[in-house]
C-alpha cells in the first residue's frame, strides 16, 4: 500500500491512521497525528523499558538501547568485565556466607572471614584468625566467651563476671574486688 499524501494540518497519513506506537517507519495515529516512538525521549510504558532520546546507545553500560530496552547493567546476570567483577543476577546480595557471593554493586560481597566486621557478624578477624577462644572470634564470626558477657568462665581465670561495666564486687577484668583495707 502506498502512503496517502499528507494534507494541510496533518502530521502524517498512512491510509489507516490507527497506530498507537511507531513500530514501523510509516506509522500514523488517529486524526493523522504522529505516534510516539523509541528515541523520542519519552518512555511509553506499554512499549518501552526506557527512552533516553538521542542518548540511546546499544553499547552504553547501565543505559538504554536504540530499541528502548535496558542495556547491560549490574544485576542482569552477565559479567561486564569493564565495569563488574561478578554478577549473579537476582542472586546478588548485600552479604554472603562465603567469598563467592556477589554484591549489589557487582563487586565481591562482604562475607565472614574477610577481616571486616559487617552484616550480621559480631566480629571478623579474618579467615586465618577466626579460631575462637576466650575473647576471640569464632569461625562463624560470632564472639566466643569473654570477660563482660555475664558468664563466669573460670577456665579462663574469671572469678566473676557482672558485665562490661563490672560492679562493686566484680572488676571490669572479671576479678573479685578486695574489701576496703581497715
The domain ranges of the chain are 74-111, 115-144, 147-182
C-alpha 90: how far from chain center: 10
pLDDT on residue 106: 97
Q: Is the pLDDT of residue 27 over 80?
A: yes
Tell me how long the chain is. 182
- Label residues 34-68 b or e (16+ Cβ within 10 Å = b): ebbbbbbeebbeeebeebbeeebeeeeeebbbeeb
State the Cα–Cα distance between residues 3 and 15, nearest whole angstrom: 6
Q: Which of 1-10, 64-73, 91-100, 156-165 has the lowest mean pLDDT?
A: 1-10
For range 129-137, the mean pLDDT:
94
Burial of 121 (0-12, 13-18, 19+ CB in 10 A): buried
pLDDT on residue 1: 47
Average confidence score pLDDT of the chain: 91
Q: Is the pLDDT of residue 2 over 80?
A: no
pLDDT on residue 3: 63
- Give the pLDDT band (50/70/90) at residue 6: confident
For range 61-86, the mean pLDDT:
94
- Give the pLDDT band (50/70/90) at residue 14: confident
Q: Is the pLDDT of residue 182 over 80?
A: no
Q: Which of 16, 11, 48, 49 is nearest to 32 (CA)?
A: 11
Q: Is the pLDDT of residue 48 over 60?
A: yes
Q: What percentage of the chain carries pLDDT values higher than 70?
A: 96
pLDDT on residue 119: 86
pLDDT on residue 17: 86
State the Cα–Cα distance between residues 172 and 16, nearest whole angstrom: 87
Q: Is the pLDDT of residue 177 over 50?
A: yes
**Residue 130: HSE in the Cβ half-sphere, 13 Å Cα cutoff:** 20
Query: Quick count: other Cβ atoms within 10 Å of Cβ 12?
Result: 18
- Give the pLDDT band (50/70/90) at residue 77: very high
For range 141-160, the mean pLDDT:
94
> Residues 6 or more apart from 112 whose CB is under 8 A from it?
97, 98, 119, 121, 124, 130, 139, 140, 141
Q: Report yes or no: 94 and 119 within 8 Å, Cβ to Cβ.
A: yes
Amino acid at each position: 500500500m502506498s502512503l496517502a499524501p499528507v494534507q494541510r494540518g496533518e502530521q502524517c497519513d498512512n491510509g489507516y491512521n490507527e497506530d498507537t506506537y511507531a513500530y514501523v517507519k510509516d506509522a500514523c495515529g488517529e486524526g493523522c497525528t504522529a505516534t510516539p516512538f523509541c528515541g523520542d525521549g519519552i518512555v511509553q510504558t506499554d512499549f518501552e523499558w526506557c527512552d533516553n532520546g538521542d542518548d540511546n546507545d546499544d553499547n552504553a553500560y547501565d543505559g538504554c538501547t536504540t530499541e528502548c530496552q535496558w542495556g547491560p547493567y549490574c544485576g542482569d546476570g552477565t559479567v561486564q568485565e569493564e565495569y563488574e567483577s561478578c554478577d549473579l543476577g537476582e542472586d546478588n546480595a548485600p552479604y554472603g556466607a562465603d567469598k563467592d557471593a556477589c554484591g549489589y554493586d557487582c563487586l565481591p560481597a562482604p562475607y565472614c572471614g574477610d577481616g571486616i566486621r559487617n552484616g550480621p557478624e559480631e566480629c571478623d578477624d579474618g579467615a586465618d584468625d577466626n579460631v575462637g577462644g576466650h575473647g576471640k572470634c569464632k569461625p562463624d564470626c560470632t564472639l566466643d566467651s569473654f570477660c563482660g558477657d555475664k558468664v563466669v568462665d573460670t577456665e579462663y581465670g574469671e572469678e566473676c563476671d557482672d558485665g562490661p561495666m563490672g560492679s562493686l564486687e566484680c572488676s571490669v577484668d572479671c576479678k573479685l574486688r578486695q574489701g576496703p583495707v581497715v
